[in-house]
Amino acid sequence: MIATKDHFLFIVKSTEVKDELYAAEEFPAGNPIGFFAEGSATTFKKGSLDDPWEKYAAGHAAPILHTRSINSLFGAAAETDDVIYVSIIPREDALHGAPKKINNASADEEIMIQNSDETFQVGAQCNVEIYRDLDTFDLTEADDVPLDIVLNFE
């Protein structure tokens, strides 16, 4: 994860089919931009936080860029085991909702995110194992991993 002057970049490496790549489940980030650099994914959308997910399209093969309308929420899950996905959100959104849960920033880094315009890499990266059904985007299990969400910080 990298904080720039105005944005926050998440670089996601997926190694399992059904890995969640992005899901605006809580706090919708303002106009995120995503880029599939490698692999293929299925995408989903919904109009509000309370709406069910709707399948938008399957077979998004890299390289491909996507943007999200302010009026919809976006989700994506890996169709292949070799996805590299980059998501860019406004810097101020990095400390809210789902991005806050996975950015793993230290207290000092959170202060830097909020109060400076320095560019820096968040020191500790994490591994989040969340799996999604490729037809419904419901939480599911991988073939050999339980439904519990596991956070492994490196």
Tell me the pLDDT tens digit for each residue of 12-33.
899 999 999 888 776 655 667 8
Confidence tier at 127 by pLDDT (50, 70, 90): confident
Burial, 71: exposed, middle or buried (Cβ in 10 Å; 0-12, 13-18, 19+)? exposed
State mean pLDDT over 142-148: 51
Given a cut of 70, whether residue 146 has pLDDT beyond it is no
Q: Check: pTM over 0.85? Answer yes or no.
A: no
Confidence tier at 69 by pLDDT (50, 70, 90): low
Q: What CATH number should be reported for the domain whose range is 2-153?
A: 2.60.120.10
Confidence at residue 19, expressed as pLDDT on a 0 to 100 scale: 92
pLDDT: is 129 or 58 the higher one?
Answer: 58
Given a cut of 60, whether residue 107 has pLDDT beyond it is yes
Number of C-beta neighbours around residue 59 at 10 A: 10
